[in-house]
Structure 1
Amino acid sequence: MTALVPPGAADAPSTAVAAGGGARTAGAADRRTQCWLDLRTVGDAAGAVRDEALHAGFDAILAADPADLRELPPTVTRVLLPEGADLPSDLGAADLVVVVPAAHGARDRLAAAHPGTSFGSYVEVTDADTLAAACASARRDPCTVLRFRDPTNIPLEIVLAAAADADRLVVTVVGDAEEAAIHADVLEHGPGAVLLAPSRPGEATRLVEAVRRRSPDLTLSTFTVTGITHIGAGERACVDTCTYLRQDEGILVGSRARALVLCVSETHPLPYMPTRPFRVNAGAVMSYTLADVERTRYLSELRAGDTVLAVGADGRTRRVPVGRVKIETRPLLSIDAVADCGEPVNLIVQDDWHVRILGPGARVLNSTALRPGDQLLGYLPERARHVGYAIDELCHEL
């Protein structure tokens, strides 16, 4: 049976503070959001949806009738949320019974009457009084299932803040995978679980993809600089993200899709301007970057609302939203390098000392101070690209 504890509760998240005062919870991306399936309103598709959820690795399945839980495997938590004011005389195979205290009675009294069965509470948040009840339940009960009436995340933020140190499981009802992804980001880590009643097969799989998708680590390589050339004026792009980037974090940029260099964020102090820890002065407009681990984009293609892959010097990645791409004409510098495997590397950036690149050990390198023999951090995707997708075909990039 799946443990009824908040995922990641045992791991106290650390906080990384970027230059300029920005902070983000480093452990938030590592928290695992449980996926719960609600069978009560699925109807004739219940069997297909249940099987899909089991295959997708759902953590719990909720039903109103104990009979619907009888054949479930012990790999999932079997949750009973009875309809009406009376509990069934036989709770069947339920591992957890979620009750409405106003209808079914106090959870403590029910737990005493049914030893060996765990009880949780269901609260529909519609006003200040029910919000207070939700906060109390989230601090007190082993599990609280919440439905929020209004299209705002403020009540959820309040509940999560109230229960932050309580080590209890909070489950929120969601309408679809998109809403689940939003809930999962509230206060950086969201509730411990999301509960979905799918209207058709396929939605359970989309829910898992939405809340559990983690950007995988990349194995970074070391490139050796072979030449530096001042090439005259051209357009370069600054990528402004909607998040603070760490001092060892930037985006991968390159003139060729098979070799990308780690351009650092503007989190390091400069003598003539304030830090901008949301920005990467990335490179010439025709340069490639990674939108995620699977797909490249040209810097000139990025728009507000797109995503770009933020990459740390240790290879950890996260998809971050783009807020703006700032393209201006500037003198340009061409940096040539080579990977240990012999793969040629080229990066074209603004020809200015304050444009920086990361080297091994997260060493910050001013681009105009680079010399042949210096080492850069980068990534070798290895495969050619067509409209950003990896392909296996003859493709020479010169």
Structure 2
Amino acid sequence: MQKIYFLAVPFDKNLVTLALESGVDGLIVEDERVESVRQLGRTEVLPVSSLTTVCLESKADEEHAVACLRSGGKVVLRAGWEIIPVENILAQADKLGVEVASLDQARLAAGILEHGVDWLLVLPQAATELKSIVAEIKLSQGVYELSRAVVTEVRPVGLGHRVCVDTLSMLRKGQGMLVGNGSAFTFLVHAETENNPYVAARPFRVNAGAVHAYAIMPGDRTNYLQELSSGDEVLVVGHDGRTSLATIGRVKVEVRPMLLVRARVDTPEGPREGAVFLQNAETIRLTRPGGEPVSVVSLREGDEILVRLDTAGRHFGMRISEDIKEA
């Protein structure tokens, strides 16, 4: 994940405040401002003199940037950089930064050679887009392909320990977490964004499922729901496949009546089936293809819901190549 710095030169108190509130990783300020700005928040503050700024105009400039990076310098390419020279530098050294003056430039820099540059220096002229840059570059984990699945079974299975994941974020309709009995077939469990006559909405919460279930996590990892704890980052997924990060504020594990939900996706290679155990309560919902939440209480065989298909095989949450079946 790229780090994002904001260039607060010349110094502007309002822009510094905006940058801190936006959640940047650091600020670049005039040397004499470093100590006073450090007192404003627990954010990295660097003097502008610590940067080696390179303007790419020739092959010699590329070679200079590579040499500085290899010697441990903090190198940033001046605005106006082009993709091919940046790729050449990234092929030879890491920890490269580039100046960006818009959200579009930030997106471009973040995707070069798929990995992207290591850090971005947002210029003051991009201040109006700073929050969008931070949200997209730091929080997005790309777009997941979701599939329509047909519900094949819904039945009570008795009591079990279920996990509520309360985040620091207000989730929106159509968003939730991918949870399932196996990592190869996960269900989009909807956040508690909806009111009902008995319980107010809790849009920060995903009542995610049984303790043994897999949750798809950032960085193409999985965790058992029981393993999650305060301060962990979880992956939030929308019905359109767009992803973001949320930090866990609290995890609640309680004994509740549970339901077993099974579903099937018919693929060109044949049917794929999966299951998930969820609390038997009206406030627990899965997600329809259009993004509408559907309560597990009203869920019926033949209903369509959103799931994610993947290849099976995980070891301590990391993807491995293994002949494995999860049922």
Partner residue, 1:39: 52
Contact 2:69 2:75 in 1 (8 A): no
Partner residue, 1:335: 261
In our comparison, the structure showing a higher alpha carbon Rg is 1
Matching residue within 296, 320, 323 for 1:391: 320
2-structure distance, mates of 1:294, 1:52: 32
The one-letter amino acid paired with 1:396 is: K
Partner residue, 2:179: 253
Matching residue within 159, 164, 181 for 1:233: 159
Q: CA offsets per residue over residues 55-106 of structure 1, 9 Å max, x none?
A: x995439xxxxxxxxxx99968xxxxxxxxxxxxxxxxxxx9xxxxxxxxxx
- Displacement after TM superposition at 1:299 (Å): 0.6
User: Per the alignment, do residues 254 and 53 of structure 1 end up closer, same or farther by CA in structure 2, a change over 3 Å counting?
Assistant: farther
The one-letter amino acid paired with 2:125 is: R
User: Per the alignment, do residues 282 and 46 of structure 1 end up closer, same or farther by CA in structure 2, a change over 3 Å counting?
Assistant: same
Matching residue within 242, 245, 268 for 1:319: 245
Partner residue, 1:285: 211
Partner residue, 2:298: 369
**TM-score (ref. length: structure 1):** 0.52
CA root-mean-square deviation: 4.0
Matching residue within 263, 267, 277 for 2:193: 267
Partner residue, 2:274: 345
Number of residue-to-residue matches in the alignment: 234
Alignment of 1:151-300 (within 5 A): 168-169=125-126, 189=133, 214-300=140-226
SS in 1 for 2:201: coil
Are 2:306 and 1:380 equivalent residues in the alignment?
Answer: no
Partner residue, 1:309: 235
- Which runs of no fewer than 5 residues in structure 1 stay unpaired? 1-5, 8-27, 62-71, 77-95, 97-159, 171-183, 191-210
User: Per the alignment, do residues 304 and 222 of structure 1 end up closer, same or farther by CA in structure 2, a change over 3 Å counting?
Assistant: same
Are 2:82 and 1:60 equivalent residues in the alignment?
Answer: no
2-structure distance, mates of 1:364, 1:60: 46
User: Per the alignment, do residues 245 and 394 of structure 1 end up closer, same or farther by CA in structure 2, a change over 3 Å counting?
Assistant: same
Contact 1:291 1:319 in 2 (8 A): no
- Displacement after TM superposition at 1:365 (Å): 0.8
SS in 2 for 1:361: coil
Partner residue, 1:87: none
- Which runs of no fewer than 5 residues in structure 2 stay unpaired? 1-5, 8-21, 29-47, 54-63, 87-98, 100-121
SS in 1 for 2:264: strand
The one-letter amino acid paired with 1:249 is: Q
The one-letter amino acid paired with 2:266 is: D
Q: CA offsets per residue over residues 246-279 of structure 1, 9 Å max, x none?
A: 1110001101110000011111111111111100
Contact 2:65 2:75 in 1 (8 A): no
User: Per the alignment, do residues 168 and 360 of structure 1 end up closer, same or farther by CA in structure 2, a change over 3 Å counting?
Assistant: same
Q: CA offsets per residue over residues 29-76 of structure 1, 9 Å max, x none?
A: 9xxx99x98139xxxx9853446999x995439xxxxxxxxxx99968
